[in-house]
Amino acid sequence: MEMVQLVKICLQFLCSSDTETFVEKSTSYADRHEMNIGALKGSLRGLLNFFKGAARKYLSQALIQEDMMRFGFDENRAKIVASSWQAHFLALSRGIAGQVLPSLSPLPLLSLLL
């Protein structure tokens, strides 16, 4: 269940972008499991990139579960991660849209409307 906790920390961060809380929770996780925070960074980075990409592609709960099983999670843990993904999906989608929309130039948007 440790990995599931790490997934939840990542999803909460992606929804809120609160760096301070993310660092606190990550450090607390590392301390609780007697891990070096430096060793944990690679896993955190990988999970964050996976979930950012999944949000950009609007992956379904079923696809997240399938991917987690391919990564070596057993079916029960994969279901828990997929359920957590579903619970955070709306906030993640809003966050991704908020990152994409400001970067768009208004001119291409106008051409789409005309």
Containing structural domain, residue 50: 2-113
Q: Tokens 């964050």 sit at which residue?
A: 48
Q: What is the mean pLDDT of residues 39-60?
A: 90
Is 25:9 a contact under the CB 8 Å cutoff?
Answer: yes
Closest by Cα among 48, 38, 86 to 64: 86
What pLDDT, in 10s, does the model give residues 84-94?
A: 999 998 888 77
Name the domain count of the chain: 1
Whole-number pLDDT of residue 93: 77
Is a pLDDT exceeding 60 seen at residue 101? no
Is a pLDDT exceeding 70 seen at residue 6? yes
